[in-house]
Amino acid sequence: MPGDHSASTAGHEGGWQESKDGGGCPQARLPRHVAVIMDGNGRWASRRGLPRVEGHRQGVEAVRRCVRAAAEAGIGYLTLYAFSAENWRRPSTEVSVLMSLLKRYVRSDLEKLHEAGIRIRIIGDRDGLSADILGLLQECETRTRDNNGMTLVVAFNYGGRQEIARAARRLAERVAAGTLEPGAIDEACFAAALDTAGMPDPDLVIRTSGEQRVSNFLPWQSAYAEYVFLPDLWPDFNEAVLARALAEYARRERRFGGLGSGVPEGSSVVDTPRYREAGG
* pLDDT computed for residue 232 by the predictor: 98
Q: Give percent of the chain with pLDDT exceeding 90.
A: 73
* pLDDT computed for residue 256 by the predictor: 73
pLDDT, tens digit (0-9, with 9 covering 90-100), for 130-161: 999 999 999 999 999 999 999 999 999 999 99
* pLDDT computed for residue 270 by the predictor: 37
Residues 33-158+200-277, CATH architecture:
3-Layer(aba) Sandwich (3.40)
* pLDDT computed for residue 259 by the predictor: 67
For residues 120 and 149, give the distance between their C-alpha atoms in angstroms, rounded to a whole number.
10
pLDDT, tens digit (0-9, with 9 covering 90-100), for 24-43: 444 558 999 999 999 999 99
Average pLDDT over residues 183-188: 98
**Helix 92-115 × helix 52-73 angle, to 10°:** 30
For residues 264 and 267, give the distance between their C-alpha atoms in angstroms, rounded to a whole number.
5
* pLDDT computed for residue 105 by the predictor: 86
Average pLDDT over residues 202-218: 97
Q: What's the DSSP call for residue 183?
A: G
pLDDT > 70? residue 278: no
- Look at 43-47, 253-257, 272-276 and tell me which has the smallest mean pLDDT: 272-276
Give pTM, 2 decimals: 0.84
| N residues, the chain | 280
* pLDDT computed for residue 13 by the predictor: 36
pLDDT > 60? residue 222: yes
* pLDDT computed for residue 26 by the predictor: 43
For residues 27 and 231, give the distance between their C-alpha atoms in angstroms, rounded to a whole number.
22
Contact call for residues 225 and 201 (beta carbons, < 8 A): yes
Average pLDDT over residues 1-22: 41
For residues 205 and 252, give the distance between their C-alpha atoms in angstroms, rounded to a whole number.
13
CA 156 to chain centre: 10
pLDDT > 70? residue 74: yes
Q: Which of the four pLDDT bands, split at 50, 70 and 90, describes residue 168?
A: very high
Q: Give percent of the chain with pLDDT exceeding 70.
A: 82
Average pLDDT over residues 46-69: 95
Residues with active-site annotation:
39, 87
Instruction: Please give the C-alpha separations between residue 155 and each of 7, 145, 195, 227, 269, in angstroms, as whole numbers.
Output: 10, 17, 10, 18, 29
Q: Which of the four pLDDT bands, split at 50, 70 and 90, describes residue 257?
A: confident
* pLDDT computed for residue 254 by the predictor: 82
pLDDT, tens digit (0-9, with 9 covering 90-100), for 85-123: 999 999 999 899 889 888 888 889 999 999 999 999 999
pLDDT, tens digit (0-9, with 9 covering 90-100), for 84-94: 999 999 999 98
